[in-house]
């Protein structure tokens, strides 16, 4: 296959879940955010940060846009990501606009996505989000196939959370996830996707964190892309602490699939069985 087609295909499959594709419609159920686009010179400057020869005029432009967004969102701390992904492999807590350059400049996730944008001629978006405290035991990844909720897994899947051993607790989480999915489906038309939530026991609805592609580019947490078919609903939590999931890896965060693949190249959409 021609290399460019490969990346075009890849982009075509991941782009529908980029934040710019759903934020406006789902604003009332997710974390307050402001966004702006970064143009070729700014994108190249961020990619060059690591080499120390970034175009400072271009960075100034981005910094001004960041300052605008920080003022709009207000607060002491912020979460800043691309529409595609965050710099969670490097740093997520941001206090001032310049911190974004530190966080983005040394994040493989950001550099890969900016490079992809350049290859497919896409102008990426940056989202500045209000900082919210998300307790690790309350974050869940929810799998939607053909418009139906088919799976929920704890997001931090290497840690045992004892409250999840209680079936009634898992039911409450599932109930909130289903309620949120009904809201998402009113506005978001993809049939297959994965959404991350922060379960809020004292509220009606969980908080929508973000949406990911339903494909092996997205970490399946306690599910397994090779084994699980997502036909019947299943809730997965770490039951037996003596059998940790994916013990060969020590990070407690979901992995980038590219790292898991081991060869730096994600599988093609076709290889993933990604629905057309
Ligand atoms: N506004 C926020 N404030 C504080 N922490 C946040 C915020 N948004 C996200 N996080 C934390 O950072 C993690 C990564 O954020 P997000 O899901 O937006 O990025 P991502 O790169 O797409 O990650 P993923 O691999 O989960 O798809 C989240 O799982 C959550 O724990
Ligand atoms: Mg994501």
Q: What is the mean pLDDT of the chain?
A: 90
Q: Residue 241 Cα, ligand 2 centroid: separation in angstroms? A: 26
pLDDT score at 246: 62
Nearest to 140 by CA among 126, 151, 127: 151
Question: What's the pLDDT band for 272 if we cut at 50, 70, 90?
Answer: very low
Please name the residue ranges forming H helices in 137-275: 167-187, 257-261
The predicted model gives 94-108 an average pLDDT of: 97
The predicted model gives 121-143 an average pLDDT of: 98
Q: Residue 185 Cα, ligand 2 centroid: separation in angstroms? A: 18
pLDDT score at 2: 54
Query: What is the model's pTM?
Result: 0.90
Residues with CB in 5 Å of ion ligand 2: 212
Residue 89 clears pLDDT 60, i.e. is over it: yes
Nearest to 194 by CA among 131, 251, 148, 258: 148
pLDDT score at 243: 78
Domain-by-domain residue ranges, the chain? 24-130, 136-252
What are the pocket residues of ligand 1 if the criterion is a CB atom closer than 6 Å to any ligand atom? 31, 79, 81, 85-86, 88, 92, 109, 129-132, 134, 139, 196, 209-210, 212, 254
Report d(CA 110, CA 66) in Å as an integer.
16
Q: Is residue 141 within 8 Å of 221, Cβ to Cβ?
A: yes
Nearest to 195 by CA among 209, 206, 178, 183: 209
Among the atoms of ligand 1, which is closest to the Cα of residue 219?
25
Q: Is residue 125 within 8 Å of 83, Cβ to Cβ?
A: yes
Region 136-252: CATH code: 3.30.470
Token couple for 99: 């911190």
Q: Name which residue leads in pLDDT, 269 or 211.
A: 211
Token couple for 38: 């970064």
The predicted model gives 56-77 an average pLDDT of: 98
* Nearest listed ligand to the Cα of residue 89: 1
Report d(CA 206, CA 155) in Å as an integer.
14
Token couple for 67: 């300052």
Residue 262 clears pLDDT 80, i.e. is over it: no
* Nearest listed ligand to the Cα of residue 209: 1
Q: Residue 86 Cα, ligand 1 centroid: separation in angstroms? A: 7
Residue of 86, 95, 155 to mutate, ligand 1, most atoms within 8 A of C-beta: 86
Q: Residue 139 Cα, ligand 1 centroid: separation in angstroms? A: 10
* Nearest listed ligand to the Cα of residue 32: 1
């Amino acid at each position: 296959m021609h290399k460019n087609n490969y990346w075009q295909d890849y982009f075509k499959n991941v782009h529908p879940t980029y934040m710019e594709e759903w934020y406006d419609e789902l604003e009332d159920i997710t974390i307050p955010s402001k966004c702006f686009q970064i143009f070729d010179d700014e994108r190249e400057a961020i990619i060059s940060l690591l080499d120390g020869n970034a175009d400072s005029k271009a960075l100034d432009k981005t910094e001004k846009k960041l300052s605008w967004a920080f003022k709009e969102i207000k607060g002491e701390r912020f979460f800043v990501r691309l529409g595609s992904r965050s710099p969670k492999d490097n740093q997520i807590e941001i206090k001032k606009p310049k911190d974004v350059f530190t966080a983005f400049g040394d994040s493989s996730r950001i550099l890969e996505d900016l490079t992809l944008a350049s290859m497919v001629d896409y102008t990426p978006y940056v989202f500045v989000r209000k900082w919210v405290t998300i307790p690790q035991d309350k974050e869940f990844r929810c799998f939607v196939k053909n418009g139906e909720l088919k799976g929920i897994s704890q997001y931090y899947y290497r840690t045992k959370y004892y409250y999840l051993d209680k079936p009634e607790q898992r039911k409450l989480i599932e109930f909130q996830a289903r309620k949120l999915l009904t809201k998402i489906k009113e506005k978001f038309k993809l049939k297959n996707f994965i959404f991350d939530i922060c379960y809020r026991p004292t509220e009606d609805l969980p908080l929508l964190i973000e949406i990911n592609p339903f494909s092996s580019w997205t970490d399946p947490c306690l599910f397994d892309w090779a084994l699980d078919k997502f036909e019947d609903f299943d809730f997965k939590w770490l039951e037996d602490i003596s059998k940790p999931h994916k013990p060969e890896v020590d990070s407690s965060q979901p992995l980038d699939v590219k790292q898991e693949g081991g060869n730096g190249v994600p599988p093609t959409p076709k290889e993933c069985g990604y629905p057309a």
